[in-house]
Chains A and B, each alone.
Chain A
Amino acid sequence: GAVVSQHPSWVICKSGTSVKIECRSLDFQATTMFWYRQFPKQSLMLMATSNEGSKATYEQGVEKDKFLINHASLTLSTLTVTSAHPEDSSFYICSAITGFDQPQHFGDGTRLSIL
């Protein structure tokens, strides 16, 4: 149980393109999902917390107009990297929880490369 699916797993695109990443909870309803970014040899950095039906809460230093998050249903959250540039190239990972005191379960991640 607690399977989180993330799509696509790998994206290469030109600078200036907007990229949408989907995160789905397959066998449970996730009221809260999280978006992380991880650069090589570094730990996970939380970007934002996404709650169903409300605006995402962004961590300090994360541009909300750059990284658009939508959590339209209890099983789907999307992250859109707008006008992506090479410095946005990273490994983006989503996670979801089944309840407040439950562990976070991670998707497989999306490797984004901006040329």
Chain B
Amino acid sequence: QKEVEQNSGPLSVPEGAIASLNCTYSDRGSQSFFWYRQYSGKSPELIMFIYSNGDKEDGRFTAQLNKASQYVSLLIRDSQPSDSATYLCAMRPNDYKLSFGAGTTVTVRA
């Protein structure tokens, strides 16, 4: 079983809609969770990080963490064409290293 599983996608949403991305993880000891956005041909860019159960909002992005159920999600509200990218879920099970999911490709249709 992979440490981090993401819904495989691709995910296509109309402009203005909510894009919902999900990620589950296997290591209950994980404390830190991250969402990165990666445009084609570019390196990952940090969007959100969350350490505590519940919701964390930053602009149009909301990260949700449920440690009991071992999942973390990302909601993108009012999706824009510029949000079209691959979104990587990552967690830190121990030490400094990150475990990445395979990524979900999102396409926002104008």
Interface of A toward B, CB cutoff 8 Å: 6, 32, 34, 42-44, 46, 49, 91, 93, 97, 100-101, 103-109, 111
Chain A residues with Cβ below 8 Å from B17 are none
Query: When the two chains form their complex, are residues A46 and B97 in contact, meaning their CB atoms are under 8 A apart?
Result: yes
Chain A residues with Cβ below 8 Å from B34 are 103-104
Query: When the two chains form their complex, are residues A43 and B101 in contact, meaning their CB atoms are under 8 A apart?
Result: yes
Chain B residues with Cβ below 8 Å from A106 are 36, 43-46
Query: When the two chains form their complex, are residues B96 and A97 in contact, meaning their CB atoms are under 8 A apart?
Result: yes
List B1-54 residues whose CB lies under 8 Å from chain A: 31-32, 34, 36, 41-46, 49, 51
B74 to chain A, nearest CB (A): 14
Query: When the two chains form their complex, are residues A103 and B49 in contact, meaning their CB atoms are under 8 A apart?
Result: yes
Q: What bracket does the count of chain B residues touching chain A fall in?
A: 20 to 34
B108 on interface, CB distance cutoff 8 Å: no
Q: Is the interface of B mostly helix, strand, loop or mixed?
A: loop
> How long is the Cα–Cα vector from A49 to B98 in the complex, in angstroms?
11
Chain A residues with Cβ below 8 Å from B101 are 43
Query: When the two chains form their complex, are residues B42 and A34 in contact, meaning their CB atoms are under 8 A apart?
Result: no
Query: When the two chains form their complex, are residues B43 and A32 in contact, meaning their CB atoms are under 8 A apart?
Result: no
> How long is the Cα–Cα vector from A103 to B43 in the complex, in angstroms?
15
List B42-73 residues whose CB lies under 8 Å from chain A: 42-46, 49, 51
- Please name the residue on chain A nearest to B36 by beta carbon: A106
> Of B32, B34, B36, B96, which is in contact with the most chain A CB atoms at under 10 Å from its CB?
B96
With A46-B97, A105-B46 given, name 18 new contacts (CB 8 A).
A6-B43, A32-B96, A43-B100, A43-B102, A44-B44, A44-B88, A44-B100, A93-B44, A103-B32, A103-B46, A103-B49, A104-B98, A106-B36, A106-B43, A106-B44, A107-B43, A109-B42, A109-B43
